[in-house]
Structure 1
Amino acid sequence: MGIGNDLKGDDALGTFMARNLHNLSPKIVTIDGGVVPENFTGAIKKENPSHILLLDAVDMKKAPGFVRIVHKEEIPNYSISTHSMPISFLINYLEIGTGAKIALIGIQPQSMELGQEMTREVKKSAIHVLDILKTILLP
């Protein structure tokens, strides 16, 4: 599930990544959760997933484009995207509701100004992560 706002620069990276993973394989369900990922919990639960991967902009106070897996326990230490529900609540809800293993891949944004496009460095990192995911997910 990609999370983010297409109108706010690097915050669009989650939705950008979800759209680029769409139709990758019939075994992989891709959801563009936008700024209200909690609205898609029913659709996620209906799929009965074994794993859920969340993709989002995470302010980790690192260089723009820095990528890492953010563990649930670390979430309170970071500023994560611009959505209404804290991502930790979403993760807890999905863990309880699906039993799936959940990971959050965070990419350090550079600019999340309204009306801006994704910055070059962040888009480069998003594409790199997409390439890795495609290698892992495709047989």
Structure 2
Amino acid sequence: MSFKAQLKDFLKDYQKLIILGIGNELKSDDGVGPYIIRQLKLNTVGNENTLFIDAQAVPENFTGKIKNENPTHILIVDACLMDSNPGDIKIVPKDDFADIGISTHLMSLSYFVKYLEQAGDYKIIFVGIEPETMDWGDTPTAKVEKTANEFIEMLKGLLL
């Protein structure tokens, strides 16, 4: 199944969606999650049942807000070391989190997702984008930014 088909299938019948962007904006491509959230907000994608959270490198700080919002669906987006080409985008099954160098963040995302699953009955999906570099820099590289913008356009079409 294609990436778009998987995403469309995940979003089917959502009643309240949280899109959570994770990453360090000072480390080039690691900031792709916050970049996507910022662009989605600027483009007013979604509707009143869509909430965008820029979690930076501390998604655990937003567990209370997530529980209070009580979403049906949570889409997490972050740079993800998947041993593929820079800019590749993929839905990563939660069972594979431990096998992939997902994150440079304080709390492992597998633990974060397990906590959320215990806190509520949420459908959760993780979208990973392969970084080109995680060196110091305040913007994503061209390949990662292109993928991020394509993903944003895809979401625009699916969240009408």
**TM category, shorter:** over 0.9
Confirm or deny that 1:111 pairs with 2:136.
no
Matched, 1:42 2:64: yes
Aligned residues: 138
Cα offset, 1:98, TM superposition: 1.9
Q: 2: distance between equivalents of 1:50 and 1:16?
A: 24
Deviations 1:4-44 (A, max 9, x none): 00100000100011112224321101100000010000001
Percent identity over the alignment is 43
* Secondary structure of 2:50's aligned partner: coil
After superposition, where does 1:39-118 map in structure 2 within 5 Å?
39-115=61-137, 117-118=139-140
CA distance in 1, matches of 2:53, 2:121: 18
Could you list the runs of 5+ residues in structure 2 that have no partner in the other structure? Answer: 1-19
Match of 1:19? 38
TM-score (norm 1): 0.95
Aligned-residue CA RMSD (Å): 1.0
Deviation digits for residues 39-85 of structure 1 (CA, Å, limit 9, x no counterpart): 00000110010000000000001000001000011111111121100
**Aligned-partner SS, 1:29:** strand
Q: Find the residue that maps to 1:65 and give its secondary structure.
A: coil
SS of the equivalent of 2:51 reads coil
Superposition deviation, residue 116 in structure 1? 5.0
TM-score using structure 2 length: 0.83
CA distance in 2, matches of 1:70, 1:18: 19
Which residue number in structure 2 is paired with residue 132 of structure 1?
Answer: 154
What is the CA–CA distance in structure 2 between the aligned matches of 1:60 and 1:86, rounded to whole Å?
16
Where does structure 1 lack aligned partners over 5 or more consecutive residues? none
Q: CA deviation at 1:114?
A: 1.7
